[in-house]
């Protein structure tokens, strides 16, 4: 059986540490500072034989209306509402607080099974804390140390006990139906799209607009997003995993520990994405950091789409677009013909462009070209612009073949492979991009020395 388990509790009780422990990852950012987690995030977790979707949430605390903290609590409530079961975490060092009691009162109203665990209990749980925990009304708690992985067997017993006594346990009829159904529908793997950019470019607003719901926190404050947040949906029959990331400032400006962790998480997302949407803020000129981020996407071999957000606020649109296209062409010639889109995430205008362009780039990123058509193109390209001479000997590209996809990579056999100038490789790549219509993706050439037929096995 599978179910969804949401971890709830006040700030700094170790929810994210427990999330990482249950999922076997380090994806949730952990720090001693309260309020590090802001959006809720999902992962695949397990406790012994139990497998489930686990949700990490922001700390539940009182906050004045219209504040960032209040919006964080609303997101936590939304996560709790969609979960099948709640796991309330309290701090074994601090004991049961008035906030813990208030949280217990609130989550009891959801009418869901609630398991209780006392974290940071590396030694034997204090009897008075255990007694106070029992008074929360969720039964006997599990004493654990999420940081050291202690007490997980006890946590399994508590969670499994709640499942057994709730409607989460499948009936005999449901079990028989599951056993009779041997065939499972095959689903194509999702396309991973990451949204990246500088702080306040509108990445979270874009994600919410594409999903059609308030999945991640938004607001005027810069740097709201910290954890990379993923959400699944389907567009034109294609399953998509969409990931929102923290704003990426210039490296020299990133000093705080939490921001460093958030940016590292964003870089990790880029490395595992299929297509990356670099979001620009139309209210600021195209900055060097935007180009740095786009260059990182290219160097990691990901498909690239550039989207200019807040386009409705641009006055001289034609001049602005000419400036953007010119700078990208000059600074990033290796990603010539990358799709450049204009959107307004807040106004929900032209959002289909982002997904349509991503689908097209994803298709190109997976391109496989036949050896015959490759070498017919190569012959024409070399005839049009012959390779240079080195030490009186003409460089000859005799043959090429595609060796991999995602991104497409090609092996070229050259009589003097180490002597082929970078400028000529760039000419071939740009010519290939135009001829085969390969926009928005990096193209890799691997040069290999061709065999000399007169070389007697040397």
pLDDT value for 330: 84
From residue 362, how far is each of 62, 273, 297, 351, 367 by CA, in Å?
A: 44, 10, 14, 17, 9
Assess whether 129 and 210 both reside in one domain. Answer: no
Domain with 390, as residue range(s), is 371-449
13 and 156 share a domain?
yes
pLDDT bin (cut points 50, 70, 90) of residue 178 is very low
The predicted pLDDT at position 308 comes to: 96
Task: Average the pLDDT over 250-265 and give the result.
Answer: 76
Query: For residue 187, is pLDDT > 50?
Result: no
Q: Nearest 5°: phi and psi at 35?
A: 80, 20
Quick one: tokens of 410?
A: 């090609």
In angstroms, what is the C-alpha Rg of the chain?
27
Task: Using the 3D structure, point to which of 350, 365, 380 is the last residue of a domain.
Answer: 365
Q: What is the pTM of this model?
A: 0.78
Average pLDDT estimate for 101-122 = 92
Query: 172 vs 350, which has greater pLDDT?
Result: 350
| Residues found in the chain | 458
Statement to judge: residues 228 and 275 lie in one domain: yes
Nearest by Cα to 18 from 139, 150, 108, 114: 150
Could you give the CA distance from residue 201 to residue 309 in angstroms, rounded to a whole number? 7
Closest listed residue to residue 297, CA positions, set 369, 253, 245: 245
Average pLDDT over residues 168-186: 48
* Final residue before a domain boundary, out of 158, 180, 202: 180
Residue 458 located in a structural domain: no
pLDDT in the model for residue 246: 87
At 170, the pLDDT band (50, 70, 90 cuts) reads low
Q: Tell me how far apart the alpha carbons of residues 196 and 225 are, in angstroms, rounded to a whole number.
A: 11
pLDDT at 7 over 70: yes
Query: What CATH number did the domain enclosing 138 receive?
Result: 3.40.50.300
- The fraction of the chain above a pLDDT of 90, given in percent, is 59
- Single out the residue in 336, 365, 394 at which a domain terminates: 365
Q: Which of 147, 64, 151, 61 is CA-nearest to residue 106?
A: 61
d(CA 109, CA 120): 27
Choose among 104, 16, 27: nearest CA to 59: 16
Give residue 297's pLDDT.
95
Mean pLDDT of 422-435: 92
154 and 25 within one domain: yes
Cβ neighbours for 300, distance < 8 A, ≥ 6 positions apart: 270, 271
pLDDT at 186: 36
The average pLDDT across 392-415 equals 92
DSSP string, 49-83: TEEEEEEE-PPP----TTSHHHHHHHHHHHHHHH-
- Do 142 and 198 belong together in one domain? no
- Sort strands 41-47 and 50-56 into parallel, antiparallel or unpaired: antiparallel
Domain identity same for 440 and 359: no
Examine the domain organization and report whether 150 and 67 are in the same domain: yes
pLDDT at position 38 = 65
What confidence tens digit (pLDDT) does each residue in 352-398 have?
999 999 999 999 999 999 999 999 999 999 999 999 988 888 899 99
φ/ψ of 39, rounded to 5, equals -90, 160
**Do 414 and 428 fall into the same domain?**
yes
N- to C-terminal Cα separation, the chain: 64
Residues 380 and 354 in one domain: no
> What average pLDDT does the segment 222-250 reach?
87
Q: What is the pLDDT of residue 427?
A: 93
Say whether both 353 and 231 belong to one domain: yes
One domain for residues 151 and 233: no
């Amino acid at each position: 059986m599978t179910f969804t388990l949401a971890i709830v509790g006040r700030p700094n009780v170790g929810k994210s540490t427990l999330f990482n422990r249950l999922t076997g990852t380090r994806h949730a950012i952990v720090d001693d500072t309260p309020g590090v987690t802001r959006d809720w995030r999902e992962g695949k977790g397990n406790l012994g034989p139990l497998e489930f979707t686990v949700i990490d949430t922001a700390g539940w605390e009182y906050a004045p209306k219209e504040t960032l903290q209040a919006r964080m609590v609303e997101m936590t409530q939304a996560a709790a509402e969609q979960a099948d079961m709640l796991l309330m975490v309290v701090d074994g060092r601090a004991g049961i607080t008035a906030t813990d009691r208030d949280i217990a009162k609130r989550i009891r109203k959801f009418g869901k099974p609630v398991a209780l665990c006392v974290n940071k209990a590396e030694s034997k749980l204090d009897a008075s804390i255990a007694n106070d925990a029992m008074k929360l009304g969720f039964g006997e708690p599990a004493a654990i140390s999420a940081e050291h992985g202690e007490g997980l067997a006890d946590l399994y017993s508590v969670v499994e006990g709640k499942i057994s006594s709730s409607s989460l346990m499948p009936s005999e009829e449901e079990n028989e139906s599951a056993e009779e159904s041997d065939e499972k529908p095959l689903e194509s793997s999702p396309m991973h799209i990451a949204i990246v950019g500088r702080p306040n470019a509108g990445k979270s607003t874009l994600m919410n607009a594409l999903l059609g719901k308030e999945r991640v926190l938004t607001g005027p404050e810069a740097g709201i997003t910290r954890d990379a947040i993923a959400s699944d949906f389907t567009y034109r029959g294609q399953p998509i995993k969409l990931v929102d990331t923290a704003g990426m400032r210039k490296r020299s400006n990133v000093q705080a520990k939490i921001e460093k962790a958030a940016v590292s998480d964003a870089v990790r997302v880029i490395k595992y994405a299929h297509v990356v949407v670099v979001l620009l803020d139309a209210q600021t000129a195209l900055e060097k950091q935007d180009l740095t981020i786009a260059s990182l996407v290219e160097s990691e071999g990901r498909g690239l789409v550039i989207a200019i957000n807040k386009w409705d606020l641009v006055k001289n649109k034609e001049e602005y677009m000419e400036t953007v296209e010119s700078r990208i062409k000059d600074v990033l010639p290796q990603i010539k013909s990358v799709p450049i889109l204009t959107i307004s995430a807040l106004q929900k205008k032209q959002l289909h462009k982002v997904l349509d362009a991503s689908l097209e780039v994803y298709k190109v990123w997976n391109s496989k070209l036949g050896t015959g058509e490759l070498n017919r193109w190569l012959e024409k390209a070399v005839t049009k612009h012959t390779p240079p001479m080195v030490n009186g000997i003409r460089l000859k590209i005799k043959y090429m073949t595609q060796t991999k996809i995602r991104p497409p990579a090609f092996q070229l056999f050259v009589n003097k492979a180490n002597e082929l100038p970078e400028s000529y490789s760039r000419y071939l790549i740009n010519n290939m991009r135009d001829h085969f219509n390969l926009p928005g993706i990096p193209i890799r050439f691997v040069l290999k020395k061709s065999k000399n037929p007169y070389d007697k096995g040397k």
